[in-house]
Amino acid sequence: MTARPILTAPDPRLQAVSTDVERVDDEIRALVTDMTDSMYAAEGIGLAAIQIGVAKRILVIDLDQKEGNKNPRAFINPKITWASEEMATYEEGCLSVPEIWDDVERPARVKCEYLDIDGKPQTLEADGLLATCLQHEMDHLNGVLFIDHLSRLKKSMAVKKLTKAKKLQAAG
């Protein structure tokens, strides 16, 4: 449908805690389509609704698009019901935190319950990149960015870089 602009830090709307979707209807399905289009346009592998300014508990993920395939998945009202004690570290980036990448440690495996695009309850056990991506996108639903997991110094440097880039963009 429509690729929408993606909010970038330090936009305060990214700190909003998203609310549950009451009913999966055509309006929600259209939002999921816009989110997927926005994610593809930005060449990302995941996107939370808040990143396009909609504070609803919805995220989309497509790990296959890195290889040029499309296999988008929508997660509506996702909840992590279990996380492993074993941890894994991945270098993360974010469409809302452009050009910043850093290692983040998260549980290696998770179990997630959510509603699919038809409003049907689903359960997913994930590991590897999918587990990391789910946790990263679910953080957005709670107003948390991946840089919030970094040391105070690294986060401060990242925010300064983002603020400077926004000022240059506005002046340009």
The rounded distance, in Å, linking the Cα atoms of 46 and 26 is 21
Structural domain boundaries, residue 77: 12-171
* Residue 14 burial (C-beta neighbours within 10 Å; 0-12, 13-18, 19+): buried
Residue 137 annotated as catalytic: yes
The rounded distance, in Å, linking the Cα atoms of 130 and 60 is 11
Q: Which of 43, 86, 99, 137 is catalytic?
A: 137
Q: What is the model's pLDDT at position 1?
A: 67
Q: Is residue 1 part of a domain?
A: no
Q: What is the model's pLDDT at position 82?
A: 98
- Angle formed at CA 40 by CA 36 and CA 42, multiple of 5 degrees: 120
The rounded distance, in Å, linking the Cα atoms of 30 and 35 is 9
Q: Is residue 3 part of a domain?
A: no
3-state helix, strand, coil in the chain (%, to 5): 40, 30, 30
Q: What is the model's pLDDT at position 165?
A: 79
pLDDT tens, per residue, the chain with 172 residues:
689 999 998 899 999 999 999 999 999 999 999 999 999 999 999 999 999 999 999 999 999 977 778 999 999 999 999 999 999 999 999 999 998 999 999 999 999 999 999 999 999 999 999 999 999 999 999 999 999 999 999 888 888 888 887 787 778 6
The rounded distance, in Å, linking the Cα atoms of 48 and 26 is 18
**21: CATH:** 3.90.45.10
pTM reported for the whole predicted model = 0.93
What's the structural domain count of the chain?
Answer: 1
Comparing CA positions, the residue from 121, 35, 14 lying closest to residue 77 is: 121
Where do we find the tokens 């049907």? 120
Q: Is residue 5 part of a domain?
A: no
Q: Is residue 4 part of a domain?
A: no
CA 141 to chain centroid: 8
- 43 CB-near residues (< 8 Å, 6+ apart): none
Q: Is residue 7 part of a domain?
A: no
